[in-house]
């Protein structure tokens, strides 16, 4: 029926009514908080392009994780900054890798009260800044798979719950799954960065992780921002290879991809609100152009509304405080 019998504003007349019929619910349980671990001791150094986010030394990251768990956020995602870099990114794998050390340190503080996810890539660890082994000026896919698998095993053996390959090499999910299973790590889950676009929105992260490529770019392995159908194919391949959770990255410029993935695949779906999305809102808020809290919640709600079950976001702590545990 039409107006005056039908009046949609009846259900918007006050905050209690709006909450009562709210279609999309946002909760701290939806969030994953990314963290950067670095060498040294006593380090908590703010990242200039990402206000409120820090580099933590291993002796400080545990206390940060205790706070995260106390806010009702169920998981953190770890990125490592090694002491030294080389051509093959050897700092990414082995018992002494900075991420493996961080996993063990966090476990001592929070026990099993927090899920630990480890990003699996080589870009932070290679002297050239690319996500794999270089051969004749280009990333060589197949030799890179073995290194990604080694890193995944070392993180899982240290106590990680989930490994998250972000490299966009073909076949890496299968290689990691086989390596984990062969080491009796069958309970370790894989969160695949399945549709990861070659995006300008990674800029602040490159500073945070010191991972900018020293030559060329990453368009030969990350996805063309113009493509939608290709994203669905990438997700399907990762599911077939054994991914337990799939992800779209970035989030806000790719809400259509998140929504299509939600419609097409019956697996847990994550989306990464990346550094550029975070910093863009923070910069506008600092200039007084928008309300930071409203922009934060509106952006996160849009990602959830599009279909994401899990949102990786640098706003996780602030949003959790605002939403309540």
Phi (first) and psi of residue 79, to 5 degrees? -120, 145
Phi (first) and psi of residue 73, to 5 degrees? -80, 125
Distance CA 20, CA 246 (A): 31
Residues in the chain, total: 325
* Contact present, 259 and 307 (Cβ < 8 Å): yes
* Contact present, 75 and 110 (Cβ < 8 Å): no
Q: Show the tokens assigned to 82.
A: 């090694």
Active site amino acids: 196, 249
Phi (first) and psi of residue 222, to 5 degrees? -85, 160
Residue 15: partners with Cβ closer than 8 Å, 6 or more residues away: none
Question: What is the 3-state secondary structure of 188-249?
Answer: CEEEEEEEEECCHHHHHHHHHHCCCCCCCCCCCCCECCCCCHHHHHHHHHHHHHCCCEEEEE
DSSP 3-state percent helix, strand, coil across the chain (nearest 5): 45, 20, 35
């Amino acid at each position: 029926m039409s107006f005056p019998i039908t009046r949609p504003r009846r259900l918007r007349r006050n905050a209690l009514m709006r909450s009562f019929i709210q279609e999309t619910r946002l909760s701290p349980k939806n969030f994953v908080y990314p963290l950067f671990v670095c060498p040294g001791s006593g380090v908590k150094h703010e990242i200039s392009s990402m206000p409120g986010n820090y580099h933590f030394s291993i002796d400080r990251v545990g206390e940060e994780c205790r706070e995260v768990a106390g806010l009702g956020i169920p998981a953190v995602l770890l990125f490592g900054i090694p002491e030294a870099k080389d051509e093959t990114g050897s700092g990414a794998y082995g018992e002494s890798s900075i991420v493996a050390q961080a996993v063990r340190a966090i476990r001592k503080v929070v026990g099993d009260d927090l899920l630990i996810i480890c990003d699996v890539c080589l870009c932070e660890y290679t002297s050239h800044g690319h996500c794999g082994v270089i051969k004749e000026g280009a990333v060589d896919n197949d030799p890179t798979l073995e290194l990604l698998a080694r890193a995944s095993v070392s993180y899982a053996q240290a106590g990680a719950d989930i490994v998250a390959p972000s490299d966009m090499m073909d076949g890496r999910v299968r290689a990691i799954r086989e390596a984990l299973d062969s080491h009796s790590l069958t309970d370790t889950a894989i969160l695949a960065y399945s549709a990861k676009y070659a995006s300008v929105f990674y800029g602040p992260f490159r500073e945070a992780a010191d991972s900018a490529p020293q030559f060329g770019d990453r368009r030969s392995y990350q996805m063309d921002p113009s493509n939608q159908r290709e994203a669905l194919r990438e997700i399907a391949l990762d599911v077939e290879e054994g991914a337990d959770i799939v992800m779209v990255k970035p989030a806000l410029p790719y809400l259509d991809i998140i929504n299509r993935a939600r419609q097409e695949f019956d697996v847990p779906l994550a989306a990464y609100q990346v550094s550029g999305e975070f910093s863009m809102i923070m910069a506008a808020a600092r200039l007084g152009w928008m309300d930071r809290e409203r922009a934060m919640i509106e952006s996160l709600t849009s990602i959830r509304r599009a279909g994401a079950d899990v949102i990786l976001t640098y706003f996780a702590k602030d949003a959790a405080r605002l939403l309540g545990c």
